[in-house]
Amino acid sequence: MNSNQHFDAYLQQKLDEKKTYGTFRSLLFADGKIDFSSNDYFGFAKSGLLTIDNTDLPSGATGSRSITGNSQLAEETEQLIAGFHARDAALIFNTGYMANVGLFSCLAGKGDTYISDEYIHASIIDGMRLSYANRLRFKHNDLADLEKKLNNATGKKIVAVESIYSMDGDEAPMPAIAAICKKHDALLVVDEAHATGVYGEKGDGLVCKYNLQNDVYAVVHTFGKALGLHGAVVTGSNVLRNFLLNQARSFIYTTALPPHNYLLIQKAYSLLPAADRGKLHELIQYFRSKIAAETSIGFIESYSPVQGIIVGDNFNTKAMATYLFDKGFFVRPILAPTVPVGKERIRICLHSFNSNEEIDRMFTEIMNFSY
């Protein structure tokens, strides 16, 4: 064996260990299945509405925003988004992952403290790790534990939450969290990835719904979920925008989005006010009413489009996901350690284009499944 083959053998061993624990991942095709898995909450991605005819634009940004990749279009889009979410300024990143890594890696530094919910997204964890700040975790949605951790924090204190949690689909008690942050002189940063489009009168998210713009320092909205596109934005003050474009390495050291993406982002934002939130929330109610009738199954307590059936074991969860997949439903297993041991689950995402009848059929198959 040469050294490359040796290294492959070493990696293969690590992959085999994953197979032993049931955490080995492989890629699937969703074609032809009923979508109970994507984050395309209103079907924007496949609607055919998000296309552009303007072919004069260059195919690429040709450089970082800091060098040749900036444009009137980019800045005009940011202003539009800032206005939509009632903030002073906005800065677009290439993905939500990069927005969180960039934001959290530079907001706090040595001697400061991040206090995040224990279920916070991996992108925020990675950003916080890069910052060299201290990190404390509070129990999921537990206000008393948040206060306890704030009492132990040093330096600048920054609290990170998701308004809707990506794996549990439950809502952070944001008005209460904002009040606690105020009391402890801590900044609050909110990731609205799964709330953007889904909540708020025009789909502007939960920070706007609760009128917390002045109590939340920065908000992350992603374009890859309800908006059906790709990319993300951090909204906040003009100073924050300037700081990020000077300090956030995931903004500075990467080629900017292709110019036509900004036109698509503008289009998607223009569709949000009329997105069928009513239908989506009706389906959520319907799904919850089905759950109420199925006492033999454990479900997560969620009133958002993100729902979950708790199976409680990596292998059984995978087996149920495969069974449902074979029956025509695209659902994904969420395994430990992504979720705590014992909370392994089938994650079900509801969309405004799903129907009660599809939910009925899926429930029938869930009940037919045996380990």
Shortest gap between Cβ of 337 and ligand PLP (angstroms)? 16
Output the six-digit token pair for 80: 């539009």
Shortest gap between Cβ of 190 and ligand PLP (angstroms)? 10
Output the six-digit token pair for 360: 């009925």
CB atoms within 10 A of CB 80: 15
Output the six-digit token pair for 368: 């037919």
Output the six-digit token pair for 44: 């924007």
Shortest gap between Cβ of 186 and ligand PLP (angstroms)? 20
CB atoms within 10 A of CB 368: 9
C-alpha to C-alpha distances, 174 to 60, 141, 189, 225, nearest whole angstrom = 39, 9, 11, 21
Contacts of 30 (CB under 8 A, 6+ apart): 37, 38, 330
Shortest gap between Cβ of 93 and ligand PLP (angstroms)? 8
Nearer to ligand PLP among residue 40 and residue 358 (C-beta): 40
Shortest gap between Cβ of 365 and ligand PLP (angstroms)? 26
Q: By beta-carbon distance, which residue lies closest to ligand PLP?
A: 96
Nearer to ligand PLP among residue 120 and residue 359 (C-beta): 120
Nearer to ligand PLP among residue 34 and residue 161 (C-beta): 161
Output the six-digit token pair for 75: 């800045």
Nearer to ligand PLP among residue 36 and residue 323 (C-beta): 36
Shortest gap between Cβ of 152 and ligand PLP (angstroms)? 25
Shortest gap between Cβ of 90 and ligand PLP (angstroms)? 15
Contacts of 113 (CB under 8 A, 6+ apart): 133, 134, 135, 136, 153, 154, 155, 156, 157, 158
Residues at the contact surface with ligand PLP, assessed by CB under 6 A? 95-97, 100, 121, 123, 162, 166, 191, 193-194, 222, 224, 232
- How many residues appear in the chain? 371
Tell me how far the alpha carbon of residue 54 is from its chain's centroid.
30
> How far is residue 284's CA from residue 149's CA, in Å, rounded to a whole number?
34
